[in-house]
Amino acid sequence: MRTATIVLLFLFASMSSASAEITTQDDVIVTVDSTNLRFSPSEVTVQEGQAVRFVWSGQALGHNAVADDGLFDSGEPERDVDYRFVFEIGTAGEHQFVCEPHEAAGMIGTVTVEAAPAVVIEDESEPETVETPAVSLLASLSILALVAVMRRPLEE
Ligand SMILES: [Cu+2]
């Protein structure tokens, strides 16, 4: 009886250890520097799934952030902007953006989006393929233990 209890405890322990890993990445902030005519920073790198926030307030001039490839657009130039854009899976690559009124003054930037790391996909699939045989092995061991415990009085 003690063996069966221990085996069942192992079974529950291995099942509860199979928890999903949650990875959250902070937004990357792009603002406007003290010259009023530059993004700061003007070059940022994110991973697919991550967001860039274009944030400024109380600016002397109105600004916006518009991607050359049309991927994102903060709208009309404003002195106060808080625009967040998530670079979804499939947006990997370089995205140039400009502040439309000040593009000629050199108010341009680049968001480099890196493909989501393959490790994340492995992390999601691996525990299941590894966990399943381990659980079924423990389950069959516990059944064997229960059978052994139950059969003992009958054999004597
Ligand atoms: Cu501007």
How far does residue 68's CA lie from ligand 1's centre (Å)? 15
For ligand 1, the distance from its centroid to the CA atom of residue 115, given in whole angstroms, is: 29
Q: What is the CA(12)–ligand 1 centre distance, in A?
A: 59
For residue 114, report the distance from its CA to the centre of ligand 1, in Å: 26
Determine the distance separating the centroid of ligand 1 and the alpha carbon of 104, expressed in angstroms. 10
Q: Give φ, ψ of 37 to 5 degrees.
A: -130, 20
Please give the chain's pLDDT, 156 residues, in tens.
555 554 444 444 444 443 333 445 799 999 999 999 999 999 999 999 999 999 999 999 999 999 999 999 999 999 999 999 999 999 999 999 999 999 999 999 999 999 987 755 555 555 555 555 555 666 666 666 766 666 765 554
Q: How far is CA 60 from CA 4, 45, 70, 78, in A?
A: 75, 28, 26, 10
Where do the domains of the chain lie?
A: 28-117
To the question of pTM greater than 0.75 for the whole model, the response is no
Q: Determine the distance separating the centroid of ligand 1 and the alpha carbon of 103, expressed in angstroms.
A: 7
Q: Separation of 64 CA from ligand 1 center, angstroms? A: 6
The two tokens of residue 153 are 């009085």
CATH of 28-117, picked from 1.20.120.550, 3.30.460.10, 2.60.40.420, 3.90.1150.10, is: 2.60.40.420
